[in-house]
Amino acid sequence: MEFFFFLDVYADRQLIDYYILSFKLGNLKSVELKQWSGKNYIVEIKDWEKFKKTTYDIVLYELGDEIERFKDIEVAFKEGYKIAYREAARRGAKKILPAIGYGNPPVDVVKRFFPVEPEFEKFPQDIDSFLEDIVKSTPQELTKRGFGDDEPAF
């Protein structure tokens, strides 16, 4: 079965989403899948060694163009993240972070192959109070809408 991961990184606030790692997986027992919008996504790798041994046809793409083929998924992850990280650094980013979510590699994979130790914020224990604090700390002028806000300013 064919899968892919987006090796996206944030260069400060700009998303660099040029790189995709595509591969075929011979043994689905090594991963946990979730379906979203009709597609299967790998959300966890339960057995790294089995996963590594059963991946094949590994290809790294940049903006849809093939840039390299690999026999080893570990080498492919390292190379893909290294290229994406270099692109972010070339743009002068002060903070370079990996993107996390559906389509991106699971967090444990990112931690293993991202060129630097990634920082992740802990998910809030109480999401309701967390969101309430954000709303309270948002300046009033950002939350008000005026008449004609939807009209173009010309």
pLDDT in tens, 60-114: 999 999 999 999 999 999 999 999 999 999 999 999 999 998 899 999 999 999 9
In a 3-state reduction of DSSP, which class is residue 51?
helix
Instruction: Give the DSSP H/E element, type plus range, for residue 49.
Output: helix 48-54
pLDDT at site 147: 58
Average pLDDT value for residue range 107-124: 87
Average pLDDT value for residue range 124-153: 71
Q: Where are the alpha helices (DSSP H) in 60-125?
A: 73-90, 107-113
Asked if residue 149 has pLDDT above 70, the reply is: no
Q: Where does the pLDDT of residue 136 fall: very low under 50, low under 70, confident under 90, or very high at 90 and above?
A: confident
Residues 32-71: tens digit of each pLDDT: 999 988 899 999 999 999 999 999 999 999 999 999 999 9
Average pLDDT value for residue range 112-140: 83
Question: Tokens at residue 92, please?
Answer: 């002068």
pTM score of the predicted model: 0.77
Burial environment of residue 17 by CB neighbours within 10 A (0 to 12, 13 to 18, 19 or more): middle
* Lowest-confidence segment of 4-8, 20-24, 106-110, 128-132 by average pLDDT: 128-132
Instruction: Give the DSSP H/E element, type plus range, for residue 127.
Output: helix 127-137
pLDDT at site 105: 97
